[in-house]
């Protein structure tokens, strides 16, 4: 297959996997948003080859400018096999989970949540605006030059902003119009930043939240039009965002093309696959760079740049623009573990993330509180396919702490419905909490 045919094949494959997963979660009576990781993987499996097609059709830079067609063929086979393995393992884990109905007496840990989250939203917004390395605009990860790449400032800004986005989404649950105002502002700020996947995912998440709100009174008539307005808002915001970054006036079509062409994960993976010697020599630098990224730049002025910038130079065959090329989770595992350990580590990583999905999104513990940390967790999964694993790691730590705070002391009775006989299970509880009597 030539380059274009590979892209069509990958889109078809990922679409087929999406249908397979959709039918599985529907049969298992699992909400689509309760299996976020598999949708993130499939989403990048679709948008990345579409992005490749956009760049190829406009004679923009693609991996074939750097590697041979035979190397691209091999890398594409590995990428497709990685998608199939990831989805297959995830669905297998879904099928093995017990179906349960729930009788919950979960106690909410934070009273007056609407007020608490509103105060938190305001406080974090102030902290974000005061971040000294954020720059003069709302960009969360958009350095203007190599001197702006103090990862501490950018790291703090990215995490703060994603928590702000979570608080804004939460307000939809308690105050519809305040929530719409806050989430619209966040969506605009995301669109003005250097982010790409996170913008689309946040807008889709907002649409889901709007549609799953209780439809009563005026809201019943406004929900669908508002969802459409939310989706159209990014289309309106894109030309201004691209113009601000490029300094040139652009049309809507050009803005959509520029945004759509930036999902380079599959192409970057192909280049990494084609240079095994470079990967081997780069592995230590990549690991050290990501580990040192946990230290805020204000505490470590000489901290090295994000190693993803070196991947950009490799992708462009020597010297690329000031941009961090995302290797995706697949590419990161390939760099660190090389060919011989890639497949077992991918299998292990998928199993662990599936377990996280179950605990945070499908387990009955915290069911009433799940919405509060939902976006922060989803954005962490998206970050695994972007350039900074540090952001994902920090946000996962915050998510688990948040989950624990909201669910501590909860007791849940589960009725197992899998199989011919149903039975009442003992209440799930933390150690030190007395069992329910009777």
Do 6 and 77 lie in one domain? The reply is yes
In a domain, 124, yes or no: yes
Q: Which of 309, 343, 362 is the last residue of a domain?
A: 362
Q: Which comes out higher in pLDDT, residue 174 or 273? A: 273
The Cα–Cα gap between 357 and 351 comes to 10
Q: Which residues contact 162 (CB under 8 A, 6 or more apart)?
A: 140, 375, 376, 379, 391, 395
Q: Which residues contact 75 (CB under 8 A, 6 or more apart)?
A: 63, 67, 269, 270, 271, 272, 273, 274
| Residue 432 confidence (pLDDT) | 36
Do 228 and 300 lie in one domain? The reply is no
Burial class (CB in 10 A: 0-12, 13-18, 19+), 428: middle
Do 253 and 271 lie in one domain? The reply is no
Average pLDDT, the chain: 75
Distances (CA, A) of 414 to 101, 422, 432: 6, 10, 20
In a domain, 121, yes or no: yes
Query: Mean pLDDT, to the nearest integer, of 56-67?
Result: 85
Q: Which of 338, 362, 386 is the last residue of a domain?
A: 362
Do 242 and 343 lie in one domain? The reply is no
The Cα–Cα gap between 302 and 150 comes to 9
In a domain, 24, yes or no: yes
Do 178 and 215 lie in one domain? The reply is yes
145-183 burial, b for 16+ CB within 10 Å, e for fewer? eeeebbbbbbbbbbbbbbbbbbbbbbbbbeebeebbebb
- pTM, to two decimals: 0.79
In a domain, 297, yes or no: yes
In a domain, 103, yes or no: no
The Cα–Cα gap between 354 and 347 comes to 11
Q: Which of 362, 387, 409 is the last residue of a domain?
A: 362
Query: Which region holds residue 29: left if phi is over 0, alpha if psi is between -120 and 50, else beta?
Result: left
Query: Mean pLDDT, to the nearest integer, of 118-140?
Result: 65
Do 340 and 388 lie in one domain? The reply is no
Question: In 3-state terms, what secondary structure has residue 66?
Answer: coil
Kindly give the interhelix angle for 113-130 and 151-174, rounded to the nearest 10 degrees.
150
Do 13 and 94 lie in one domain? The reply is yes
State how many domains the chain has: 2
Question: In 3-state terms, what secondary structure has residue 107?
Answer: coil
CB 23 within 8 A of CB 72: no
pLDDT digits (tens, 9 = 90+) for 296-320: 666 666 766 777 778 888 888 766 5
In a domain, 271, yes or no: yes
In a domain, 226, yes or no: yes
Do 88 and 215 lie in one domain? The reply is no
Ranked by mean pLDDT, the top range of 108-112, 118-122, 230-234 is: 118-122
| Residue 136 confidence (pLDDT) | 43
CB 274 within 8 A of CB 71: yes
Rg (CA), the chain: 22
Do 127 and 249 lie in one domain? The reply is yes
The token pair that represents 4 in the structure block: 């274009």
The Cα–Cα gap between 177 and 183 comes to 10
Do 318 and 181 lie in one domain? The reply is no
In a domain, 70, yes or no: yes
Do 281 and 249 lie in one domain? The reply is no
pLDDT digits (tens, 9 = 90+) for 265-307: 899 999 999 999 999 998 888 888 777 776 766 666 676 677 7
Q: Which domain holds residue 31?
A: 1-98+264-362
The separation between CA 169 and the C-alpha centre of its own chain, rounded to angstroms, equals: 15
Do 223 and 270 lie in one domain? The reply is no
Which range among 64-73, 194-203, 219-228, 363-372 shows the weakest confidence by mean pLDDT? 219-228
């Amino acid at each position: 297959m030539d380059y274009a045919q590979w892209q069509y094949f990958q889109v078809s494959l990922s679409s087929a996997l999406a249908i397979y997963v959709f039918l599985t979660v529907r049969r298992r009576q699992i909400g689509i948003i309760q299996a976020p990781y598999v949708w993130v993987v499939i989403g990048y499996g679709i948008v990345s080859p579409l992005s490749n097609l956009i760049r190829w059709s406009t004679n923009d830079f693609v991996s074939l400018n750097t590697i041979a067609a035979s190397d691209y063929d091999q890398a594409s086979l590995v990428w497709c096999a990685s998608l199939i393995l990831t989805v297959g393992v995830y669905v297998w884990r879904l099928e093995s989970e017990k179906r349960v109905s729930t009788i919950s007496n979960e106690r909410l840990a934070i009273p007056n949540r609407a007020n608490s989250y509103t105060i938190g939203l305001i406080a974090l917004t102030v902290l974000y605006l005061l971040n000294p390395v954020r720059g003069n605009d709302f960009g969360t990860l958009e350095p203007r030059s190599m001197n702006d790449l103090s990862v501490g400032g950018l790291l703090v800004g990215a995490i703060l902003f994603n928590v702000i986005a979570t608080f804004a989404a939460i307000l939809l649950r308690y105050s519809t119009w305040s929530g719409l105002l806050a989430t619209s502002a966040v969506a605009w700020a995301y669109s003005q930043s250097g982010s790409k996947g996170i913008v689309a995912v946040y807008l889709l998440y907002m649409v889901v939240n709007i549609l799953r709100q209780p439809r009563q009174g005026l809201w019943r008539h406004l929900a669908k039009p508002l969802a459409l307005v939310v989706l159209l808002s990014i289309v309106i915001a894109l030309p201004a965002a691209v113009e601000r970054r490029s300094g040139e006036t652009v049309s809507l079509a050009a803005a959509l093309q520029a945004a759509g062409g930036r999902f380079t994960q599959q192409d970057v993976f192909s280049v990494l696959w084609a240079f095994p010697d470079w990967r081997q020599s780069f592995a230590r630098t990549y690991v050290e760079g990501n580990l040192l990224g946990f230290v805020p730049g204000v505490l470590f002025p000489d901290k090295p740049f994000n190693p993803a910038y070196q991947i950009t130079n490799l992708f462009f065959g020597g010297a690329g623009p000031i941009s961090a090329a995302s290797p995706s989770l697949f590419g990161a595992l390939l760099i660190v573990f090389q060919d011989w350990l890639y497949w077992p580590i991918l299998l292990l990583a998928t199993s662990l993330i599936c377990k996280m999905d179950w605990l945070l999104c499908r387990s009955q513990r915290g069911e009433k509180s799940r919405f509060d940390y939902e976006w922060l967790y989803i954005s962490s999964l998206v970050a695994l396919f972007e350039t900074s694993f540090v952001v994902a790691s920090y946000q996962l730590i915050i998510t688990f702490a948040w989950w624990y705070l909201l669910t501590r002391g909860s007791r849940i009775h589960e009725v197992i419905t899998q199989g011919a006989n149903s039975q009442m299970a003992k209440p799930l509880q933390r150690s030190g909490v007395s069992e329910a009597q009777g």
